[in-house]
Amino acid sequence: MNIQFVVVVLTVLSNCHVLAATSRCDHPFQETPGGKCIFSPKQILQGTWDEAQEICGFLNKDSRLLEFRTADELLDVTSFLSQNDADCARWPSGGGPWIGAIEVGNTNQFIWSSDNSTVVVENWVQGQPNSPSSGDGAMMSCEFSFEWMDKSRDTVLPVLCEVEPRAKCPAQFTAVGDTCYHLGFSSTTWDLAQDYCHSLAPNGKLIELETLEEIYLVTEFLNDNSDPSRYYWTGAEERQRHDYFYWGSSGKPVVITNWWSDYAPDSDTSDAVALLDGDNHGWRWKNDYSKSSSFYELCEADPADL
């Protein structure tokens, strides 16, 4: 395996960062119907069993070759692979992907490499495992409907990686990228809006837009889901000094901004920042609003805040 080629491919995949609003899988992993997050580049990325484990680790520090703990997981992934390439055209001849099972010595008994637990749920091709070598790896053969075969770990085969899915969002929140958002139903003051967001999830808060990516994703989320005439509160507020803004939950200064270009700030020092309507202002920011003004709640929460 050309390790430089692998690094280039993984770099390209990492930079093509596509965030789906509903998927719980980090790019480039795909979500199966049963909720597994897998990466199957087929013949594009191949290596020995040990190299395949390294490739998964390069892709995501928490990734590994796929392991099956339940019959439902096995059926889910096997069906997903079969439906996506029934004629095996995109797999190398005679091969399919490595999975995370390895042989104990020359016993034909297999364990999962992540924790050395015995492989209980199996799906071997008839007559397998039967390799004369010891310490083999297990692979899924496309030609045999993704049933398993054992191969010498030096065999070069495609990878099949998995990573744990992200946690689900709290009730009433929608996943957008790595964060969860909720559009409020009422127009209220800034402080009451903060209280409302906190009531929805343990660490719920008015939205805090700390990266350009988050600003872009939230803008698209509002374009797709909000009444374009509404104004929304953010978690940014002035503290003591005019035009110095801080995020309400952490007290960190607001560094990345998206101000509406034609506003003239007033001299008050207790304002908060709102997102202007999408119709005329494209959800840009403005700070000339007392916290006693009434706008809609736009809340965020971490997926772990269940």
CA dist 177 and 189 (Å) reads 28
The CATH number for 3-163, chosen from 3.90.1300.10, 3.65.10.10, 3.40.50.300, 3.10.100.10, is 3.10.100.10
| pLDDT at residue 278 in the model | 83
- Write out the chain in H/E/C secondary structure: CCHHHHHHHHHHHHHCCCCCCCCCCCCCCEECCCCCEEECCHHHCEECHHHHHHHHHHHCCCCEECCCCCHHHHHHHHHHHHHHCCCCCCCCCCCCCEEEEEECCCCCCEEECCCCCECCCCCECCCCCCCCCCCCEEEEEHHHCCEEEEECCCCCEECCEEECCCCCCCCCCEEECCEEEEEEEEEECHHHHHHHHHHHCCCCEECCCCCHHHHHHHHHHHHHHCCCCCCEEEEEEECCCCCCEEECCCCCECCCCCECCCCCCCCCCCEEEEECCHHHHCCCEEEEEECCCCEEEEEEECCCCC
46-50, 104-108, 115-119, 259-263: segment of lowest average pLDDT: 259-263
The tens digit of pLDDT for each residue in 203-224 reads: 999 999 999 999 999 999 999 9
The tens digit of pLDDT for each residue in 52-81 reads: 999 999 999 999 999 999 999 999 999 999
| pLDDT at residue 95 in the model | 76
Answer with the residue of higher pLDDT: 82 or 17: 82
With a CB cutoff of 8 Å and minimum separation 6, the contacts of 116 are none
The answer to whether the beta carbons of residues 111 and 104 sit under 8 Å apart is: yes
pTM reported for the whole predicted model? 0.62
| pLDDT at residue 99 in the model | 98
| pLDDT at residue 208 in the model | 96
Answer with the residue of higher pLDDT: 278 or 5: 278
Highest mean pLDDT among 16-30, 122-136, 242-256, 275-289: 122-136
The tens digit of pLDDT for each residue in 14-45 reads: 544 444 445 678 888 999 999 999 999 998 99
CATH node for 174-301: 3.10.100.10
CA dist 125 and 286 (Å) reads 64
Domain-wise residue ranges, the chain: 3-163, 174-301
CA dist 171 and 175 (Å) reads 11
| pLDDT at residue 243 in the model | 72
One fold for 3-163 and 174-301: yes
Q: What is the mean pLDDT of residues 109-136?
A: 96
pLDDT tops 70 at residue 201 = yes
| pLDDT at residue 102 in the model | 98
Compute the mean pLDDT over every residue in the chain, rounded to the nearest whole number. Answer: 88
| pLDDT at residue 68 in the model | 98
